[in-house]
């Protein structure tokens, strides 16, 4: 999965062709398999697959970050509109995104103002659709529009390691020599809304505490930063598994801090 973390980019331009039977089968099997996954708060989800069939047109303004070109299909899921459910959705859907990357498909998280009405058939009472993604074969060359969007979003830029990860308290940055540093680089590579990277992580012994750095300027109809935290936790969990370590989630009593505490992960 390390290659998928390193190679994943937001793809908005796709080959102009429908998915073939084997591709569609692979995507649907992947979605079904991930319905058995559970995030740190143990919510379950249902995921859906929707062929485009002209639903949005070849140059569709589907989401917050502009146009999606030639997308043959979309994937997404539903959940309750609670902080913990959204964290779990971010966690599980990012596993799907990375697995799709590993299989050679292009994707991009759409979680802001995409046209939820187009996916209403998949929504049950009491749930909503926090995010979707186009899925297909990436075009050989990104369109000019896509390159402009990526530059505007600073898609490949990441905050310095020292601004995200801390040791014992938030006055001390985590040294790169720490045993968890390589895994935390996987977290640093994670996508987030407007590339804000709102996660802050505090290491105390073998406990890894996840916090969210709230940005009041980000105004959405739901708590999209909860999705971001779930994505970050997914990357950390995958990294620890890659390095042969087990992660157990727990809630701790923590003191006051400049950030909002979410949960902890004990690394064994």
Are 188 and 83 in the same domain?
no
Are 28 and 108 in the same domain?
yes
User: Which residue range(s) make up the domain with 109?
Assistant: 2-148
CB 49 within 8 A of CB 27: yes
Residue at 155 is within a domain: no
Residue at 29 is within a domain: yes
- In degrees and rounded to multiples of 5, residue 144 shows phi and psi of -60, -45
Which of 87, 114, 148 terminates a domain? The answer is 148
Q: Which of 7-11, 153-157, 170-174 is the least confident region?
A: 153-157
Are 102 and 233 in the same domain?
no
Neighbouring C-alpha atoms within 13 Å toward the C-beta of 49: 18
Residue at 97 is within a domain: yes
Are 124 and 203 in the same domain?
no
Are 179 and 124 in the same domain?
no
Are 48 and 171 in the same domain?
no
Are 97 and 141 in the same domain?
yes
Max avg pLDDT among 4-18, 106-120, 134-148, 239-253? 239-253
Scored b (16 or more CB within 10 A) or e, 63-98 reads bbbbbbbbbbbbbbbbbbeebbbbbbbbbbbbbbbb
pLDDT for residue 158: 83
Are 214 and 118 in the same domain?
no
Terminal CA-CA length for the chain: 20
The Cα 233–Cα 5 span in angstroms is 13
Which of 114, 148, 182 terminates a domain? The answer is 148
Q: How many domains does the chain have?
A: 2
Characterize the bridge pairing of strands 247-250 and 260-267. Answer: antiparallel
Residue at 190 is within a domain: yes
- Going by pLDDT thresholds of 50, 70 and 90, the confidence category of residue 55 is low
- Going by pLDDT thresholds of 50, 70 and 90, the confidence category of residue 156 is low
- Would you call 153 helix, strand, or coil by DSSP? helix
CA 89 to chain centre: 9
Please write the tens of the pLDDT for every residue from 186-243: 999 999 988 899 999 999 999 999 999 998 776 677 899 999 999 999 999 999 999 9
Which domain CATH number covers 192? 3.40.109.30
The Cα 137–Cα 235 span in angstroms is 23
Are 144 and 183 in the same domain?
no
Residue at 192 is within a domain: yes
- Going by pLDDT thresholds of 50, 70 and 90, the confidence category of residue 143 is low
Share of the chain above pLDDT 90, in %: 65
Are 216 and 182 in the same domain?
yes
Q: Which of 10-14, 235-239, 262-266 is the least confident region?
A: 10-14
Residue 96 has pLDDT above 60, yes or no: yes
- Going by pLDDT thresholds of 50, 70 and 90, the confidence category of residue 122 is confident
Which domain CATH number covers 73? 3.40.109.10
Q: For residues 155 and 75, which has the higher predicted lDDT (pLDDT)? A: 75
Are 202 and 236 in the same domain?
yes
244 conformational bin, left if phi > 0, alpha if psi -120 to 50, beta if neither:
left
The Cα 179–Cα 174 span in angstroms is 10
Task: Identify the bridge partners of residue 46 per DSSP, sorted by sequence position.
Answer: 78
Supply 92's token pair.
């599980």
Residue 59 has pLDDT above 50, yes or no: no
- In degrees and rounded to multiples of 5, residue 89 shows phi and psi of -65, -45
Closest of 160, 241, 158, 254 to residue 202, by C-alpha: 254
Residue at 154 is within a domain: no
pLDDT for residue 145: 53
């Amino acid at each position: 999965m390390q290659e998928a973390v390193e190679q994943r980019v937001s793809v908005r331009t796709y080959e102009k062709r429908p998915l073939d039977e084997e591709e569609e089968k692979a995507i649907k099997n992947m979605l079904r398999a991930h319905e058995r996954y559970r995030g740190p708060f143990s919510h379950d989800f249902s995921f859906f697959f929707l062929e485009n069939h002209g639903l949005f047109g070849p140059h569709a303004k589907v989401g917050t970050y502009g146009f999606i070109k030639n997308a043959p299909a979309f994937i997404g899921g539903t959940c309750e509109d609670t902080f913990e459910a959204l964290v779990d959705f971010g966690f599980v859907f990012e596993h799907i995104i990375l697995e799709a990357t590993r299989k050679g498909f292009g994707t991009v998280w759409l979680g802001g103002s995409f046209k939820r009405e187009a996916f209403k058939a998949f929504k049950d009472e009491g749930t909503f659709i926090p995010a979707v993604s186009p899925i297909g074969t990436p075009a050989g060359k990104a369109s000019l529009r896509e390159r402009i969007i990526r530059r505007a979003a600073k898609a490949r830029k990441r905050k310095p390691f020292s601004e995200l990860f801390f040791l014992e308290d938030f006055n001390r940055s985590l040294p790169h020599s720490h045993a968890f540093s390589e895994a935390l680089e996987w977290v640093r590579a994670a996508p987030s809304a407007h590339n804000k990277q709102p996660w802050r992580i505090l290491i105390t012994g073998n406990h890894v505490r996840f916090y969210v750095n709230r940005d009041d300027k980000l105004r959405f109809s739901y708590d999209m930063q909860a999705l971001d935290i779930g994505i970050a936790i997914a990357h950390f969990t995958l990294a620890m598994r890659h390095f042969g370590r087990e992660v157990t989630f727990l809630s701790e009593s923590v003191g006051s801090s400049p950030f909002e505490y979410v949960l902890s992960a004990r690394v064994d």
